[in-house]
Amino acid sequence: MEPRGSSGVGSGNSGTYTPEIAESLRFEEEIQSLIDPSFDASSAAGGSFTALLGLPANQAVELLHHPGPGEPPASAATDTLRLPFGCSSTFVERAARFSVFATDDSPASSSGGGLSPGLKAEPPDSDSPPTLPAPAGKPRRPSKRKECEKSKAKAVAKKSKSAEENTSAAKPAAEENTSGDKLPYVHVRARRGQATDSHSLAERARREKINARMKLLQELVPGCSKITGTALVLDEIINHVQSLQRQVEFLSMKLAAVNPRIDFSGLDHILSAECGPLAVASGCGGGASDPAMWASDTAASTGGIRRMPAPPQIWHLDVVHPQQSSTVWENNGVAHPHFLLSPATSLVGYDPASSVPLNSNRLKTEL
Amino acid sequence: MRASSRFKSVFLEQMLMGFQLSGFPCRTMSLPARMHAIKLSADVAMAVARGSRRWTHGLIAHLSKKEDKSFLKCILGKQYERLTMPCYSSWKIQRCKTILRRSFRERFGKQKPAQACTLARSLVKTRAQVLKRLVPGGKAMDGYSLLDETMDYVVCLQAQVDLMRHLLGAFEASKLRAQTKGTSSQGRKSIKDETDGNKKDLIELCMHLSDNA
């Protein structure tokens, strides 16, 4: 591995390069950056000849003659090559000799367009967000990277968009898209061989959103994770939904067949007593759904209050008297003795005459 | 991805209320009618428990188009008018899209889709249309929101199936217990035992809910 910080300013890239060596250099550097978050890849980029040779010829020569600020910038990567040490002529010559290892493994640089070493510096950028703004002179090119490195590439602002302060923030948004909120800007990096105008970018962002959703759906539906291809996955999803709907119908038929006579009032009391604390526990854990939690809690308690008769008086919804159910329900409310189910009931202003609207009010807040 | 226990408890509560409201244990009702009532109350309970999503609105609108409006009114109370109001904006979008599509088709005629990508796209399109028919309220959704709503709908459907299965088990167990107790002891005591049996079953049901969640 080349010495850290050894920067030889080489001449610009001349045609041939051995891709394997370049690849290995890149990977070494990136692995290093992953291991050590404070890895200053600018120095290592300086150390890798590829970075140097990524510069176009004239700029490299310029750097040759004017070693520049010499010390590295305060933070990590910049776009221009910052030499950690003052470059000595020996380094320069050695670098020039090794110019055969020219550039960019990032294939973007065709002949003239040297990729800025900012590219090399970018993997560590994801770890240490750059604070230096891009130097004005260096045009930011649409970055094109190999697909294998795209995962490590952070979202970098393209030349039409804003600067790179948003990189670390925008990267999760660009790549994961699982959060429901939308950022005003989606910073993405164009892949190799893809168009970079705004339309295709937007379309690609949309496609990635859809792909993220498809992945989630694949995880949800059993047996779908091995399937590749949108159409087949959609097939599975459709089958799953249809089977669930059929199961609901079948279960409702069985429920209809099973019980001609159920003591619902007792059931509801037990339910509210059991599921009220349950709702409270889970609701407190949720936190965000406070009104809904309260609503459900009070719904449960009001339901329990409404239907629970006095303990000694057990009510049966008898088969023979179907009309009685509704009347009994109201009678329950009127003749209802006062009791406390849980502390939550004290929140409820229980009004027997308006028991129904009360419940629906609670439901309304929930919805 | 599972539904939260809060959702399940609210769902169960709502469903039992719906059962009660429909005068459910009515022997005079035929089996299909009872099944219909149960399914209706289960669907409404699911929609109410989930909250405000596009598919829930679609589901309630769909349910209100059928008969039994009075039943729905009972359950939803004041929200009935608000929830069953048709959402004109989304339908307008759908109508515009179909008109545009038709005009484009007439203008450009049929192009031979010899490429694989267009073929794949058409396959995906047909499946998306089927999915739109399945998910309530799906006709007025574009691709991304369709997938979103489908995911939500699947989670809720799974929870619904779970709940109904456990409810069925609880009822059957209580019925069995009642039958065995009925043969052994008679009179008022058996009724009380049945009640206790029901309560026990429901307690087990709630425990199961909390365990799962």
pLDDT of B36: 82
pLDDT tens string B131-146: 888 888 888 888 888 8
Which of A345-354, B32-41, B165-174, B202-211 has the weakest average pLDDT?
A345-354
CA distance A103 to A3: 18
How many angstroms separate the CA atoms of B19 and B32, rounded?
15
Range scoring the smallest mean pLDDT among A306-310, B23-27, B57-61: A306-310
**Which residue of chain B comes nearest to A307, CA vs CA?**
B17
pLDDT for residue B180: 85
- Give residue A238's pLDDT band: very low, low, confident or very high (50, 70, 90): very high
Are residues A271 and B202, on separate chains, in Cβ contact within 8 Å? Answer: yes
- B167 confidence band (pLDDT: 50, 70, 90): confident
What pLDDT, in 10s, does the model give residues A12-26? 444 455 555 555 555
Question: Residue B96 to residues B31, B91, B99, B207: CA-CA distances in angstroms?
Answer: 43, 9, 5, 50
The DSSP secondary structure of chain B, one letter per residue, reads ----HHHHHHHHHHHHHHHHHTT-S-TTS-HHHHHHHHHHHHHHHHHHHH-S-HHHHHHHHHHHHSS-HHHHHHHHTTHHHHHHS--HHHHHHHHHHHHHHHHHHHHH------SHHHHHHHHHHHHHHHHHHHSTTGGG--HHHHHHHHHHHHHHHHHHHHHHHHHHHHHHHHHHHHHHHHHH--THHHHHHHHHHHHHHHHHHHHHHHHH-
Check if A212 contacts B (Cβ < 8 Å): no
Contacts of B9 in chain A (CB under 8 A): 271, 275, 278-279, 296, 300
Nearest to A322 among B28, B120, B157 (CB): B28
Q: Per mean pLDDT, which of A43-57, A107-121, B14-28 is the most reliable? A: B14-28
Which residue has better confidence, A60 or B192? Answer: B192
Q: Is the pLDDT of residue B113 over 90?
A: no
From chain A, pick out residues whose CB is under 8 angstroms from the CB of B197: none
Cβ distance B151 to A213 less than 8 Å, yes or no, reads: yes
What is the ipTM, given to two decimal places? 0.81
B154 pLDDT above the threshold of 60: yes
- The predicted model gives A71-77 an average pLDDT of 44
**Among positive and negative, which fits the CA dihedral B13, B17, B19, B20?**
positive
pLDDT, residue B205, reads: 63
The proportion of chain A whose per-residue pLDDT surpasses 90, expressed as a percent, equals 5
Q: Looking at CA atoms only, how far is residue B11 from chain A in angstroms?
A: 10
pLDDT score of B51 more than 70: yes
Per-residue model confidence (pLDDT) at position A96: 57
Report, as an integer, the average pLDDT of B4-27: 72
What is the model's pTM? 0.51
Q: Is the dihedral of CA A319, A320, A323, A324 positive or negative?
A: negative
Quick check: A249 contacting B, CB < 8 Å? yes
pLDDT at B161: 92
> pLDDT at position B32, please?
81
- Segment A109-165, tens digit of pLDDT: 444 444 444 444 444 444 444 444 444 444 444 444 444 444 444 444 444 444 444
List pLDDT tens digits, range A194-210. Answer: 777 888 999 999 989 98
Q: What is the pLDDT of residues A276-327, one digit of tens each?
A: 454 444 444 433 343 443 344 444 444 444 444 444 443 343 334 444 444 4
Residue with tokens 């404070």: A38
Res A150: pLDDT: 44
**pLDDT grade for A248, boundaries at 50, 70 and 90:** very high
Q: How confident is the model at residue A343 (pLDDT cuts 50, 70, 90)?
A: very low
Nearest CA in chain A to B175: A259
